[in-house]
Amino acid sequence: MTPLWYVVGFGVAGVSFVFLTIGAAWLISHRTRGDQHKGLPYESGIDTYGDTHGRFGLSFYIYALLFVAFDIEVIFIYLWAIAFQDLLLGGFISMLIFVAILLLGLAYAWRKGVLNWR
Amino acid sequence: MTFVARTWNRLTIPGRVLLGLLLLGGLLTVGLALLIIFSEPILELLGANLPLVRFVAAATAVLLMTIPTAFLIIYMEMKIIALMNLRVGPDRVGPFGSLLSVVHGLKVLMKEDFTPTGADASVFTLAPVVTYLASVMTLLVIPFAPGLFGQDMNIALLYFFAISGLGVVGLLMGGWSSFNKYSLLGGLRSAAQVISYEVPLVLSVVGLLILAGTMSLNQLVLNQAGWFTDWYIWQQPLGFLIFFIAATAEANRTPFDLTEADSEIVAGFATEYSGMRFGFFFFAEYVNVFIVSALTVTLFFGGWNAPFPFPDIGLALDPGSLGIALLILVAVVPLVGILILALPFYLLRSSMPFWQALIIGFVLFNVVAVAAVLGWAFVSLEWVAGLLWFMLKTYSFVFIFVWMRGTLPRVRIDQLMGFAWKWLLPASLLNLFVTAAAVIVVRELRG
């Protein structure tokens, strides 16, 4: 069995475990119909108004962008780190250049004040 | 049918319990007999599919292990924080209130599992599944003891971060599908926090990877064998610090628990959840605490290695060689042991009837026997000793997490986000390059 099938099989086992438990809970828990107020979203006890999926802060989106830039870099850095004992000085300098380019992006975002939460 | 129902109704409660036990015992006996009769073909079938058997055993063990782990951590949290606040904490259910978290679990299981009117029902149900799966699937690569791990992958660490990063999808799903403004904000906040701390978290271990030259967690643990000075914490103190802070934020623990900042956004993404779906969110959270501690121990504190080279005192005992003496041993030792342990109580306290002394002796003998068996296993079985050291270290870190919750206040969200990007990320890159430079310098000096 290859590791991939191991992971997939484990995922299937985990999903079935969760659904079995939720199903068992559904069987033994009590349910009431309730009136129309029961189904309302809980927003501190007052009836909800306005659009729920309305507008929210743009900063979330910018953090997601920064995350994508740095997290993809990580895959590359990991492989570099594993092979570093063979690369040594050449690897060090090339990684310095690679990270410097990425840090330019971070410095730009920092300068623009994106990193300050508003 | 009516006959059975009428008979059942006439029975008293002990009678019902007895009947149930009898039926269960009968079924077990039949099953055991069938197993013994068909043992040969069954064993052959299992032997032919050994990897499959290993997989089923590992999956079952890991999934079932999460339940007592979560209960234990919830109890630890209730009791330790209570003691830190000079309260008594849970003390009603079970000895020292230790069964309270089990009761909590049963209560959550029996609560109404409710879906609000506007919610997207399918996404609403899938969200806790994704969160729980993302935390549990990482247990697959954690080496608990020598030979006791789900799978020894050569990219284990990358797999770990990839899978645990998926948890944020579950939070977003829960926040979006709840049709509640608090949930939506809570989900987005959790997502922003988790992805911000994901970057320093994964970059902080790169220094360690440079030193180790492998991503297999099993190999990393083997690299740290020997004295406790061989652990990576001494070579990567900054890396450990960044890793620990980022991991705290990743597990949504105090002081970074803004996802459930109940004073600001009710309960965050979990506002609309109830019943077992809510249960799985918090199940996942407590399993996450264990996993983060386990990974810290594996990476920086030598995993299942003892802090010093443990003397090898294997007690070789072959039960088969004793023959008839084994039978006498099994029959006589418990009796004599119980009597000897009961004797002082009977002699010293004249008011005690002999049966009470016998019960005390029986309990004491069991304690002694279990301790003796565990001690024997510890010195002669490698994986028992490894598991014990691993659990000891892991629960020390769980205790530190609980301790932080009892001590530290919650940070503000702008401090939280700024800290990740302005301090932790540059510090982890610095750690990376200093380690790389140090490796080069050491190479040059050694020639």
Q: List per-residue pLDDT tens for chain A, 118 residues long.
A: 577 888 888 888 888 888 888 888 888 877 777 777 777 777 766 777 777 777 777 778 888 888 888 888 888 888 888 888 888 788 889 889 988 988 888 888 888 877 777 6
Residue of B112, B138, B272, B445 to mutate, testing the A interface (most A Cβ within 10 Å of its Cβ): B112
Smallest CA–CA distance, residue A3 to chain B, in Å, is 7
Whether B259 has its CB under 8 Å from any CB of chain A: the answer is no
Considering only CA atoms, which of B335, B317, B419 is closest in space to residue B376?
A: B317
B113–A19 CB contact, under 8 Å: no
B100: tokens are 């309270």
pLDDT at B253: 79
Q: Which residues of A touch B126 (CB under 8 A)?
A: none
Give the distance from CA B281 to its chain's centroid: 16
DSSP B229: G
B137–A14 CB contact, under 8 Å: yes
Whether B169 has its CB under 8 Å from any CB of chain A: the answer is no
pLDDT at B291: 92
Q: Going along chain A, which residue ranges are E strands? A: none
pLDDT tens, residue by residue, B156-207: 888 898 888 888 888 888 888 888 888 888 888 888 888 888 889 999 999 8
pLDDT tens, residue by residue, B385-432: 888 889 999 999 999 999 998 888 888 878 888 888 888 888 999 998
A41–B176 CB contact, under 8 Å: no
pLDDT at B400: 92
pLDDT at B396: 93
Q: Which residue pairs, CB below 8 angstroms and at least 24 apart, start in B372-380?
A: B376/B315, B376/B317, B379/B313, B379/B314, B379/B315, B380/B313, B380/B314, B380/B315, B380/B316, B380/B317
What region does B96 belong to: left with phi over 0, alpha with psi -120 to 50, or beta?
Answer: left
Q: Going along B254-298, which residue ranges are E strands? A: none
pLDDT range class, residue B212, cuts 50, 70, 90: confident
| Cis amide bond preceding B237, omega within 30 | no
φ, ψ (nearest 5 deg) of residue B262: -65, -20
Whether residue B265 is predicted with pLDDT greater than 60 in this model: the reply is: yes
Query: Apex CA B228: angle with CA B225 and CA B234, to 5°?
Result: 105
Structural class in CATH, domain A57-118: mainly alpha
Domain boundaries, chain A: 57-118
Whether residue B59 is predicted with pLDDT greater than 60 in this model: the reply is: yes
Considering only CA atoms, which of B260, B274, B282 is closest in space to residue B178?
A: B274
B272–A63 CB contact, under 8 Å: no
Give the distance from CA A48 to its chain's centroid: 28
Smallest CA–CA distance, residue B350 to chain A, in Å, is 52
Whether residue B320 is predicted with pLDDT greater than 70 in this model: the reply is: no
pLDDT tens, residue by residue, B339-362: 787 777 777 776 777 777 778 788
Q: What is the ipTM of this complex?
A: 0.87
Whether B270 has its CB under 8 Å from any CB of chain A: the answer is no
Smallest CA–CA distance, residue A104 to chain B, in Å, is 12
Cα-Cα-Cα-Cα dihedral sign, residues B221, B227, B230, B236: positive
Residue of A48, A49, A52, A85 to mutate, testing the B interface (most B Cβ within 10 Å of its Cβ): A52
CB distance B192 to A63 below 8 Å: yes
pLDDT tens, residue by residue, B90-126: 888 878 888 888 888 888 888 888 787 777 888 888 8
Whether residue B1 is predicted with pLDDT greater than 60 in this model: the reply is: no
Among B132-136, B200-204, B252-256, the least confident range: B252-256
Neighbours of B433 (CB within 10 A): 16
Contacts of A79 (CB under 8 A, 6+ apart): none
Q: Which residues of A touch B165 (CB under 8 A)?
A: 71
User: Closest chain A residue to B177 measured between Cα atoms?
Assistant: A53
B192–A59 CB contact, under 8 Å: yes
Alpha helices in A29-88 (DSSP H): 59-82, 84-87
Whether residue B321 is predicted with pLDDT greater than 70 in this model: the reply is: no
Share of chain B above pLDDT 70, in %: 94
CB distance B180 to A42 below 8 Å: yes
Report the distance separating Cα B188 and Cα B194, nearest Å.
Answer: 10
Give the distance from CA B198 to its chain's centroid: 22
| Chain mean pLDDT for chain B | 83
Considering only CA atoms, which of B153, B301, B322 is closest in space to residue B227?
A: B301
Among B67-76, B289-298, B341-350, the least confident range: B341-350
Cα-Cα-Cα-Cα dihedral sign, residues B332, B384, B289, A16: negative
Residue of A2, A4, A5, A6 to mutate, testing the B interface (most B Cβ within 10 Å of its Cβ): A6
Whether residue B23 is predicted with pLDDT greater than 70 in this model: the reply is: yes
Q: Which residues of A touch B118 (CB under 8 A)?
A: 39, 41, 52
Report the distance separating Cα B141 and Cα B135, nearest Å.
Answer: 12
Q: Which residues of B touch A55 (CB under 8 A)?
A: none
Considering only CA atoms, which of B425, B158, B201 is closest in space to residue A80?
A: B158
Higher pLDDT, B45 or B441: B441
Average pLDDT over residues B286-299: 91
**Counts for chain B of helices (H) and strands (E), in that order:** 19, 0
Q: Which residue reads 């996993």 in tokens?
A: B291
**Hey, is B145 helix, strand or coil?**
strand
